Structure 1
């Protein structure tokens, strides 16, 4: 019995078209994501403003300028940099000149600086509002005895340091910096894998097309 090439040909064309469309969809998502990241970076780099009275997470990355004094109360969050290796982010309770008590991510200290005293210090800080999403189901709970946290959890840190649930990440600081190196907010950690997903779908489409051609060749060879 002669086997028809029509069913596998139709199936192959439809499957390849679907896989190709998924690849092009990912390319459109890539364009959207790159546009969004450009917009975020523009917001991060904008001129800083005074800290708004009413703040919410829709203001994420807003550049602000604050003046005031750290209280000496702080949290150390396990961190690291390419240049200096492992260390900690110093999250301080900060009293603004207007009398508000907020969280300030002052930046990075290395392992040797962990136990150094950081008494109250006057600072003028340019930074960005931030609500980092770092705590997941696998994140350990803070080691309160050792004074080490494993993620910046704004509500929990605010409760611990008795502040508003509001975090400013320092981009630059003037005053008694006490050796803490600011690590500005950036878009480097924002995932953008759409190009690799697009390549995968196009490879699947190419594989599907190749297998369809091979199957048709086998059917025609057996037929004749």
Structure 2
């Protein structure tokens, strides 16, 4: 029986090594696409933050700077998300804003409030709020389950919240209130560090969202792992071929 040629010793392991390399390279390439997409989002947010506010209408692009006038509907409130400020656990207060005339209601994300305690300001008269148009979100596979009965939500699903609050015909996005304070604006929303609680409730966002952009680092990591995998396989192959 003839002995296998040296190169035949690495043929079968190659069928396992190559798919792993392809996966690592694919993940790195995907992160580069995500990087390009995130840079576009950041550029759009930077432009939107400098534009004057426009009235909230049905066809409003995401993160447009908008304003709306109306009355907060008593009792029509929900809490979105969980966020710790200092040692206090809270979430974002979402309220229905009933607007005059035939204008549809609008959900307003007023800002952070503690889950227990605290004196929340609830204006009874007509108010004008301004901020940015926050788009709705889809329920993720790993997202926590919303509790419509308790008005607790972990996915910013505008339609679901509006229906639970008795406003099924509300606009398909929400207005996130932005109230700049003196000094540099702190990052707010979409994965960035929340502003500290200063006492007034709700504690609104102080600027447009500033999403994190770690995709270049992720891409370097995946490509680095791919390179390391190639080196490991070449060293193993060299040793394997040198065996007698």
1:117-136 map, 5 Å: 118=122, 120-133=124-137, 135-136=139-140
Please report the TM-score for the alignment, with normalisation by the length of structure 1: 0.72
Partner residue of 1:148? 152
Which structure has greater helix proportion?
A: 1
Partners of 2:115 and 2:56 lie apart in 1 by 35
- Alpha-carbon separation, structure 1, partners of 2:66 and 2:98: 15
RMSD over aligned Cα atoms: 3.7
* Structure 2 CA distance for partners of 1:35 and 1:44, relative to 1, 3 Å: same
Aligned residue runs from structure 1 range 2-151, under 5 A: 3-5=5-7, 8=10, 15=18, 18=22, 21-22=25-26, 25-26=29-30, 28-55=32-59, 59-77=61-79, 78-83=81-86, 85-96=88-99, 100=103, 101-113=105-117, 118=122, 120-133=124-137, 135-137=139-141, 138-144=143-149, 146-151=150-155
For residue 81 of structure 1, report the CA deviation from its aligned partner. 4.1
CA distance in 2, matches of 1:90, 1:125: 14
Question: What do residues 52-109 of structure 1 show as CA deviations (whole Å, max 9, x unaligned)?
Answer: 53325xx111111223322223222143244463113221111335663211111111
State the distance in 1 between where 2:229 and 2:82 align: 43
Q: Quick one: structure 1 residues 4 and 33, their matched pair in 2 at CA, closer, same or farther if it must change by over 3 Å? A: same
Structure 1 SS opposite 2:179:
strand
1:189-221 deviation digits (Å, cap 9, x = unpaired): x67546325413431332233222332233224
- Structure 2 unpaired stretches of 5+: 181-199
Mapped to 1, the partners of 2:87 and 2:59 lie a distance apart of 34
Instruction: State the alpha-carbon separation in 2 of the partners of residues 43 and 198 from structure 1.
Output: 29
- For the Cα contact (< 8 Å) 2:64–2:132, is it kept in 1? yes
In structure 2, do the counterparts of structure 1 residues 135 and 121 end up closer, same or farther at CA, with 3 Å as the change threshold? farther
Distance 1:72 1:84 in 2: 29
TM-score (norm 2): 0.67
